[in-house]
Structure 1
């Protein structure tokens, strides 16, 4: 699948710096056209300066105050066993020095279910308002194919994949084992550094190593040569047990593999293309928030990783074919709607009068009561005959009454 990028004046310059010098493009919020022109190239992108606008309470004290009693799993470095404990106790360990603790600690993929929006409502809204390139990264972004996933009516449970946001909290990677070891995500991802120990946006907080999708096969061959022959064979990347050291990176360079090196600072958002193997090592204690998304530019690589997961008998985190089908159905409907939409004309006197009457407080209250009655009656109706909620699309049958994403933009 080839997506033609919208070329800008800066596209060629950033492309040369990225592909020849391995210098990652650094953009500012709002440069979405430039982002689109570079995102087609399967290269990571950094958007800086979000600490100036990002709201929400992301400090350890704020998280303890609101979720201190919640139980989480703390992971320890050095192969030590993980431990279940409260959030408050985790942050007591988190704020200790490495010498006092004796190991690095981290909390990943928290919360483990789709409860971030419900349990962290303020921070969820702050993240969605601040995340750059919203048409890609938001849960209702028109270019996020997952946003078009069909949602059933209450009380039926939605099967929409859990793509975040998730919180990642880790101390400095003093043992150099990797705060997040080498792995590949099925989808694209964006990771925002919301808090760091220094609270200084000029100091490095985390070091990333990102490999291009085209280098995966040679990277796998190299990593397999480093595996213990007595261990059972497994994919060296999907196992998430390897951290690429500086010495290993130098050896990979002799094989023609040059990963992107990214220094993430407070307020930086790192965009990772689908199919790009990557790892993270914290320079200081950090709290990050991340979410996944699926864009047209990453569909081919996402399909490859999804097939890898099946081959390795790993859990299916994304119903890839279903997401594509719902996105196609949603976008096709939207295209038909736009093509058949009549041009706007001036309202007649009678139409203006009716419009004013509908906008009165009493008319709005009546409309709300009728809407509640319709919803109550629909909950007791069998799951048959549901149709698309768009008023000009009532003749077309749909699997569910709501298609999120495009319809929120209509």
Structure 2
């Protein structure tokens, strides 16, 4: 008992440190502590394990790089010091660096370094709960900077420090991304799992966020595909090879796109549109011309005209129980019988130009709106920085209104500053793709903030522009009209006046964004890119779909969102009927 009494304080300290890590991991992932699963790693009896940073022996819990070619281990003390803003490990870190150099030369300083092993789950906290200890802040001049991320997660250190230097948290298991800075908010982070590492039991974790109306971003979706190119010219050639060119000859010659400067519909040769995607276009005053091509080819024939692309997209869908258009067990849309007219849920393609900076006018945006169903939007193509060329067209209003008046266009051009934002040589040409930068900026608002958001838009409606680049006139519904886009200035003002802030984040190549039904959202393209969208109806959000249906009922006749094309109530009846039949069949087999 004397021994236990003396050692007990140490055991309590170890227990406190481990509980703290689990608590922080739960906070970062947005789940309860009991849901955190710590992976056990095998260790032989003749092996000792050390922290790769400070060379202190590892007793039990530690953090490990997920990169299978790295295996960098970090003790909990170094993790805490990193979050405190200190040099982790103090002087020991330098000797650890020398050990890394020795290992690179073939001499393993760690005693009998073991073979690759399963790594344990990683994560960290937002605020440090321990008292900060005195630690060294001065870094060796040979060491590059290494510090914890803003959300408290720990990245693998740079190669000069012995890690793999993986960017965007590649060196750890941080599966969240800070997307808001609401004071006291418990939902400032967006869950961002890796598609390659998703396990069968990950659906349950997804549901914990989904049922609360939180968006989810799945990374590296393209890693699960065959590598089929989604480059526009490749898609166009594939479209022609299917024989569609003979059936719809005129459609292959020209398409109707939307000019984001005046929101008018323009007719353009499809080859010219795709050339502009790669090389850029501009208006006569050298202002960037942002064109959007929506739903090409039409979703009703997507799989017929681009069968390989359609099959690859479906095969790569994360959380297929929710998203698969025919076999999704939790997708209510799959329960409609063959005899029923089914809603058009995609896949739909959105091909649009983009520009790195917010122009303030003529930005390539999808304006604020709210989908009746749940949605998944996937960045399928590598991004292109915007360049310019001398062309321009004029056509019919995208809202079905008369063609834009030439004088209205001239007025818009006079209103725009006579500058060329594309003059920077770094943005010219078609080889300036920078996939390291996000391709699109998303703003997704919480459902509970919709009343305040609506009030703000009504109050400031005259400050926004839409058709013909003129101020927004009448407002039926500030969200369902899809005539507003909140730029950075308006988002700041919304925060100041109503304390409302969206989840705001960049979408990168190969990422799939899941948007819960009822969450207003808007998107701005920072680079030319292709998005592929698929809608689905989940049981978690069916009540929200019904609420939106009731809102659409009250819109005036002829409104773009008036028609109940989804028929959620019918879906729900068929889905419950199918579930009851399946349950009866299962019970009969068990008996």
TM-score, normalising length: structure 1: 0.75
Once residues 310 and 159 of structure 1 are traced to their aligned partners in structure 2, the CA distance between those partners, rounded to angstroms, is 21
Match of 1:378 in 2: none
Map 1:191-202 to 2 at 5 A.
191-198=377-384, 201-202=435-436
Q: 2:219 aligns with which of 34, 48, 57?
A: 48
Match of 2:403 in 1: none
Query: By how many angstroms is 1:144 displaced?
Result: 0.6
Once residues 351 and 266 of structure 2 are traced to their aligned partners in structure 1, the CA distance between those partners, rounded to angstroms, is 15
SS of 2:238 mapped into structure 1: helix
Considering fraction of residues, name the structure with more strand: 1
Once residues 364 and 229 of structure 2 are traced to their aligned partners in structure 1, the CA distance between those partners, rounded to angstroms, is 26
Q: 1:23 aligns with which of 165, 173, 189?
A: 189
Map 1:102-113 to 2 at 5 A.
102-113=288-299
SS of 1:274 mapped into structure 2: coil
Is the CA contact (8 Å cut-off) linking 2:217 and 2:514 kept in structure 1? yes
Equivalenced residue count is: 334
The answer to whether residue 525 in structure 2 is matched with residue 339 in structure 1 is no
Match of 1:315 in 2: 563
The answer to whether residue 456 in structure 2 is matched with residue 222 in structure 1 is yes
Match of 1:253 in 2: 495
SS of 2:351 mapped into structure 1: strand
Most deviating of 17-26 and 215-224: 17-26
Query: By how many angstroms is 1:21 displaced?
Result: 6.0
SS of 2:576 mapped into structure 1: helix
Is the CA contact (8 Å cut-off) linking 2:345 and 2:535 kept in structure 1? yes
Is the CA contact (8 Å cut-off) linking 1:8 and 1:33 kept in structure 2? no
The answer to whether residue 445 in structure 2 is matched with residue 211 in structure 1 is yes
Once residues 365 and 263 of structure 2 are traced to their aligned partners in structure 1, the CA distance between those partners, rounded to angstroms, is 14
> With CA pairs under 8 Å and 6+ residues apart, which has the higher RCO, 1 or 2?
1
Distance change >3 Å, CA 243–CA 178, structure 1 → 2: farther
Query: By how many angstroms is 1:86 displaced?
Result: 4.5
Match of 1:8 in 2: 35
Tell me, which stretches of 5 or more residues in structure 2 are unaligned? 1-30, 38-122, 126-174, 180-184, 246-251, 385-432, 463-470
Most deviating of 297-306 and 176-185: 176-185
Match of 1:358 in 2: none
SS of 1:190 mapped into structure 2: strand
Match of 2:15 in 1: none
Structure number with bigger Rg: 2
Is the CA contact (8 Å cut-off) linking 2:291 and 2:364 kept in structure 1? no
The answer to whether residue 143 in structure 2 is matched with residue 143 in structure 1 is no
Match of 1:376 in 2: none
SS of 2:295 mapped into structure 1: strand
Once residues 16 and 23 of structure 1 are traced to their aligned partners in structure 2, the CA distance between those partners, rounded to angstroms, is 5
Q: 2:374 aligns with which of 188, 193, 203?
A: 188
Distance change >3 Å, CA 131–CA 115, structure 1 → 2: same
Most deviating of 27-36 and 266-275: 27-36
Distance change >3 Å, CA 297–CA 218, structure 1 → 2: same
Once residues 106 and 205 of structure 1 are traced to their aligned partners in structure 2, the CA distance between those partners, rounded to angstroms, is 15
Most deviating of 321-330 and 306-315: 306-315
Most deviating of 185-194 and 327-336: 327-336
Map 1:268-347 to 2 at 5 A.
268-312=511-555, 313=557, 314-342=562-590
Is the CA contact (8 Å cut-off) linking 2:472 and 2:483 kept in structure 1? no
Is the CA contact (8 Å cut-off) linking 2:280 and 2:353 kept in structure 1? no
Is the CA contact (8 Å cut-off) linking 2:290 and 2:364 kept in structure 1? no
Query: By how many angstroms is 1:98 displaced?
Result: 4.1
Give the superposed CA RMSD.
2.7
Once residues 220 and 336 of structure 1 are traced to their aligned partners in structure 2, the CA distance between those partners, rounded to angstroms, is 46
Match of 1:38 in 2: 209
Query: By how many angstroms is 1:178 displaced?
Result: 4.6
Is the CA contact (8 Å cut-off) linking 2:188 and 2:503 kept in structure 1? yes
Match of 1:172 in 2: 354
Distance change >3 Å, CA 201–CA 90, structure 1 → 2: closer
Once residues 250 and 171 of structure 1 are traced to their aligned partners in structure 2, the CA distance between those partners, rounded to angstroms, is 26
* Per-residue deviation, residues 144-167 of structure 1 (Å, max 9, x unmatched): 111111112xxxxx5111100000
Distance change >3 Å, CA 332–CA 232, structure 1 → 2: same
Is the CA contact (8 Å cut-off) linking 1:77 and 1:175 kept in structure 2? no
SS of 2:213 mapped into structure 1: coil
SS of 1:302 mapped into structure 2: helix
Once residues 268 and 290 of structure 2 are traced to their aligned partners in structure 1, the CA distance between those partners, rounded to angstroms, is 16
Tell me, which stretches of 5 or more residues in structure 1 are unaligned? 153-157, 344-410
Once residues 584 and 316 of structure 2 are traced to their aligned partners in structure 1, the CA distance between those partners, rounded to angstroms, is 32
Once residues 93 and 248 of structure 1 are traced to their aligned partners in structure 2, the CA distance between those partners, rounded to angstroms, is 30
Query: By how many angstroms is 1:341 displaced?
Result: 1.2
SS of 2:255 mapped into structure 1: strand
Match of 1:60 in 2: 232
Map 1:142-161 to 2 at 5 A.
142-152=329-339, 158-161=340-343
Query: By how many angstroms is 1:227 displaced?
Result: 1.8
Once residues 553 and 314 of structure 2 are traced to their aligned partners in structure 1, the CA distance between those partners, rounded to angstroms, is 31
TM-score, normalising length: structure 2: 0.53
SS of 1:141 mapped into structure 2: coil
